[in-house]
């Protein structure tokens, strides 16, 4: 882990000064009339890949151990050691992919330590996260078992920082090769006959920091080399993801794009890597004091939401660097770490990154998704950090009772699930008030995005009211298709800091939104203060 600064400045001369047609933030204009969200239902844009709703599970704190994995002897109901309740909750979200084993842990991880009989597996020190001893009881087979139980796809993150090319090459062979190759035979010895499918493979992580403290050009050369040996075995076609920039480090993205300029992989895809990652975390304070998850002022509320909106600007600017090298958008941008990062809950291990999750986290998530939908043409994948008990989690589990709580963020993922693989629709905001600035950045107090499922004849509209204390009435100005029905759902709580606990698991939970009326332009919706809502439209 490396300390990072939350600057808003761009890096050096490589910072794009223009983003062409890419929006840096929600498109908002002024109006004399009521607040409106204008949606052309007959102008579908890029497909919103389901992989934008991806997840991340690192060997960190209680994410794997206690979160996903309790071992076969646990009293907590499990399948081969994997918690049944966690699997059921995540299956309901239709999570499209899961990244593992890190994060910073990935560049310390040697996969051979995590195969074979558990009692024979060597131990290691998890130096990034609490300096605890890792017994490697959750390894490759356990992870792929979890992937199968979840009905999701694997994103395995390899080790460049302290691993070898051969180690990485052997891992993908072990995972995906069918015949009697040395690694396939080893996998069979360990009880798995059939190869697995691994569509995504990370070439190290945060190489500028915990992944080796490298310079951009040095890592770019290594990424080319390592990715070359992550081979496609049989039918398994891998998207290789180079470890990308943090925040506004556009020079890093530029170096990676230059490294593959004009190169082609064997199958006509860009090569040797096909995607580049990006990491950005939202905090309300500086790195040294990120702010409390549950105790915050209105000022911190708005600052946090403003910083969440910045994620879209980062996507737009990194995408613009990529557009210059790759105008046909064959290289994917993978935002594989995003979300809130608060001070840990008092009394918990500072290395375990356990934090509560409030209505504020829910709106941070909804704002990210609105931005992701607007850049669906370049964004291939995004992974919130992290799924269980770490950072902006979907699920919190009690270390003593084992009780499971679904967080407000979980509910945003559930309410937005209908956007997966749908076509993005432009949702243009027209607001009667002057748009406020927070820390020099405009922050409209409404956010919206929409998508169309032409095959089903439905559209989904997501709406966020960022006001801490005012309700908001919005006209959905629906053009191009007739609307024959609607169903609206809202997520909010008694305060901006409302959150769920084992005692009050539904303090923040979705309920039907009844404040929806027909309007000459479409529908009129009233959102409570600090709320997120979705409106599903049936189209003629």
Q: With binding defined as CB under 6 A, does residue 275 bind ligand AHR?
A: no
345 is annotated as an active-site residue? no
Nearer to ligand AHR, 281 or 532 (CB): 281
- Three-state SS at 90: helix
- Three-state SS at 294: coil
Q: With binding defined as CB under 6 A, does residue 1 bind ligand AHR?
A: yes
Which residue, among 13, 48, 11, 19, has the nearest Cα to 462 in the 3D structure?
Answer: 48
Binding mask 7-46 for ligand AHR (x = CB under 6 A): ----------------------------------------
Q: Give the H/E segment covering residue 212.
A: none
Nearer to ligand AHR, 310 or 530 (CB): 310
User: 438, exposed or middle or buried, with CB in 10 Å at 0-12, 13-18, 19+?
Assistant: middle
Closest approach, Cβ 161 to ligand AHR, in A, equals 11
**Going by DSSP bridges, is the β-strand pair 275-282/239-246 parallel, antiparallel, or unpaired?**
parallel
Segment 386 to 425, residues that bind ligand AHR, using CB under 6 A = 386, 391
Segment 180 to 219, residues that bind ligand AHR, using CB under 6 A = 205-206
Closest approach, Cβ 319 to ligand AHR, in A, equals 21
Cα atoms in the 13 Å half-sphere on the side-chain side of 388: 29
Distance, CA of 369 to CA of 419 (rounded, Å)? 10
Q: With binding defined as CB under 6 A, does residue 145 bind ligand AHR?
A: no
**Going by DSSP bridges, is the β-strand pair 437-438/458-465 parallel, antiparallel, or unpaired?**
unpaired
Nearer to ligand AHR, 205 or 416 (CB): 205
Q: With binding defined as CB under 6 A, does residue 454 bind ligand AHR?
A: no
DSSP letter string over 346-360? TTS-TTS-----BHH
Both structure tokens of 380? 């291939």
206 is annotated as an active-site residue? yes
Cα atoms in the 13 Å half-sphere on the side-chain side of 62: 21
Q: Count of residues for the chain? A: 540
Q: With binding defined as CB under 6 A, does residue 385 bind ligand AHR?
A: yes
Cβ–Cβ under 8 Å, residues 240 and 275: yes
Q: With binding defined as CB under 6 A, does residue 244 bind ligand AHR?
A: no
Closest approach, Cβ 144 to ligand AHR, in A, equals 21
User: 271, exposed or middle or buried, with CB in 10 Å at 0-12, 13-18, 19+?
Assistant: middle
Considering 206, 254, 312, 313, which one is annotated as catalytic? 206
Closest approach, Cβ 483 to ligand AHR, in A, equals 41
| Count, residues near ligand AHR per rule CB under 6 A | 11
Choosing from 26, 54, 61, 103, the residue that interacts with ligand AHR (CB under 6 A) is: 103
Nearer to ligand AHR, 280 or 413 (CB): 280
Nearer to ligand AHR, 226 or 301 (CB): 226
Binding mask 52-71 for ligand AHR (x = CB under 6 A): ------x-------------
- Three-state SS at 525: strand
Phi, psi torsion values for 220, nearest 5 degrees? -55, -40
Q: With binding defined as CB under 6 A, does residue 337 bind ligand AHR?
A: yes
| Span from 9-17, 96-104, 195-203, 318-326 in contact with ligand AHR (CB under 6 A) | 96-104
Choosing from 98, 104, 183, 393, the residue that interacts with ligand AHR (CB under 6 A) is: 104
Nearer to ligand AHR, 205 or 239 (CB): 205
Distance, CA of 317 to CA of 250 (rounded, Å)? 8
**Position of minimal CB gap to ligand AHR:** 103
- Three-state SS at 440: coil
Distance, CA of 124 to CA of 135 (rounded, Å)? 7
Cβ–Cβ under 8 Å, residues 461 and 37: yes
Q: With binding defined as CB under 6 A, does residue 87 bind ligand AHR?
A: no
Cβ burial 205-217 (10 Å sphere, 16+ → b, else e) = bbbbbbbbebebe
Q: With binding defined as CB under 6 A, does residue 249 bind ligand AHR?
A: no
Q: With binding defined as CB under 6 A, does residue 161 bind ligand AHR?
A: no
Which are the catalytic amino acids? 206, 337
Q: Residue numbers of the site for ligand AHR (CB under 6 A)?
A: 1, 58, 102-104, 205-206, 337, 385-386, 391
């Amino acid at each position: 882990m490396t300390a990072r600064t939350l600057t808003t400045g761009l890096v050096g001369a490589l910072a794009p000064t223009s983003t062409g047609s890419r929006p840096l933030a929600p498109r908002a204009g002024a109006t004399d009339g009521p607040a409106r969200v204008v949606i052309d239902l007959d102008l579908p844009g890029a497909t919103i890949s389901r992989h934008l709703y991806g997840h991340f599970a690192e060997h960190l704190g209680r994410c794997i151990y206690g979160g996903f994995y309790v071992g076969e002897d646990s009293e907590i109901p499990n399948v081969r050691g994997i918690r049944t309740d966690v699997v059921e909750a995540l299956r309901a979200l239709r999570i499209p992919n899961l990244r593992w084993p890190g994060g910073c842990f990935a560049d310390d991880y040697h996969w051979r330590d995590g195969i074979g009989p558990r009692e024979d597996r060597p131990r290691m020190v998890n130096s990034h996260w609490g300096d605890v001893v890792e017994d490697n009881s959750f390894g490759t087979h356990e992870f792929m078992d979890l992937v199968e139980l979840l009905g999701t796809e694997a994103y395995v993150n390899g080790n460049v920082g302290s691993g070898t090319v051969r180690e990485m090459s052997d891992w993908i062979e072990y995972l995906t090769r069918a015949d009697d190759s040395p690694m396939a035979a080893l996998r069979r010895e360990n009880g798995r006959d059939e190869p697995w499918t691994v569509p995504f493979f990370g070439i190290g992580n945060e190489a500028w920091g915990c992944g080796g403290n490298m310079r951009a050009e040095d890592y770019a050369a290594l990424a080319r080399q390592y990715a070359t040996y992550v081979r496609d075995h049989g039918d398994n076609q891998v998207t290789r993801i180079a470890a990308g920039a943090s925040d506004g480090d556009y020079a890093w993205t530029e170096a990676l794009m230059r490294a593959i300029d004009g190169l082609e992989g064997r199958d006509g895809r860009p090569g040797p890597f096909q995607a580049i990652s990006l990491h950005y975390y939202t905090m309300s304070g500086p790195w040294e004091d990120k702010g409390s998850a549950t105790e915050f002022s209105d000022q911190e509320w708005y600052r946090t939401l403003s910083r969440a909106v910045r994620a879209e600007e980062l996507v737009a600017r990194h995408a613009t660097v990529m557009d210059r090298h790759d105008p046909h958008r064959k290289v994917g941008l993978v935002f594989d770490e995003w979300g809130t990062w608060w001070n840990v809950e008092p009394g918990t291990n500072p290395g375990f990154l356990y934090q509560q999750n409030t209505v504020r986290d829910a709106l941070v998530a909804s704002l990210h998704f609105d931005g992701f939908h607007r850049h669906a043409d370049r964004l291939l994948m995004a992974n919130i950090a992290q799924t269980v008990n770490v950072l902006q989690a979907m699920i919190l589990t009690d270390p003593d009772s084992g009780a499971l709580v679904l967080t407000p963020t979980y509910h945003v993922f559930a309410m937005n699930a209908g956007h997966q693989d749908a076509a993005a629709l432009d949702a243009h905001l027209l607001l009667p008030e002057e748009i406020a600035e927070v820390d020099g950045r405009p922050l409209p107090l409404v956010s919206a995005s929409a998508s169309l499922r032409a095959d089903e004849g439905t559209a989904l509209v997501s709406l966020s009211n960022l006001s801490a204390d005012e309700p908001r009435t919005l006209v959905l100005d629906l053009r191009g298709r007739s609307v024959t029905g609607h169903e609206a759902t809202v997520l909010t709580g008694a305060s901006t800091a409302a959150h769920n606990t084992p005692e009050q698991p539904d303090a923040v939970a979705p309920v039907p939104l009844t404040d929806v009326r027909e309007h000459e332009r479409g529908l009129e919706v009233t959102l409570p203060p600090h709320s997120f809502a979705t409106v599903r439209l049936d189209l003629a």
